[in-house]
């Protein structure tokens, strides 16, 4: 059951390799043949289930990106509020120190 099945030796014929002579005077080789495009139409089966799966995957990706963006914006907003509160506290401390030095 778990043994590999090899094709019989007569099922294929090995390709013959012909060496091409290379001369120093004529180093320009023939242009390579153009590759034919591969048709991919038969590889993917389109059905309502695959369309639904693609739509669900797209929605999940958009929701994941949106949650990351919202969390980054929230982090920026929290940092801005913390900096503004600390700036107001420092302003009050500096004013209090100036008034204290003026009174002396």
**Per-residue pLDDT tens over the stretch 41-73:** 555 667 888 889 999 999 999 999 999 999 999
**How far is the C-alpha of 67 from the C-alpha of 43, rounded, in Å?**
35
C-alpha 25, offset from chain centre: 49
- Cα separation of the two ends of the chain: 100
Share of the chain above pLDDT 70, in %: 64
Average pLDDT over residues 87-103: 92
pLDDT of residue 93: 96
More confident residue, 50 or 82: 82
Burial letters 39-60, b for 16+ CB under 10 A, else e? eeeeeeeeeeeeeeeeeeeeee
Which uninterrupted H or E stretch holds 94? helix 48-103
The ranges assigned to domains in the chain are 58-104
């Amino acid at each position: 059951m778990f043994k590999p099945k090899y094709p019989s030796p007569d099922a294929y014929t090995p390709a013959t390799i012909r060496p091409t002579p290379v001369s120093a005077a004529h180093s320009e080789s023939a242009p390579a043949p153009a590759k034919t495009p591969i048709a991919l139409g038969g590889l993917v089966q389109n059905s309502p289930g695959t369309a639904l799966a693609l739509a669900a995957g797209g929605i999940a990706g958009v929701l994941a990106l949106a949650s990351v963006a919202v969390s980054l914006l929230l982090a920026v907003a929290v940092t801005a509020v913390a900096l503004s509160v600390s700036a107001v506290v420092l302003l009050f401390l500096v004013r209090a120190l100036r008034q204290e030095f003026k009174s002396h």
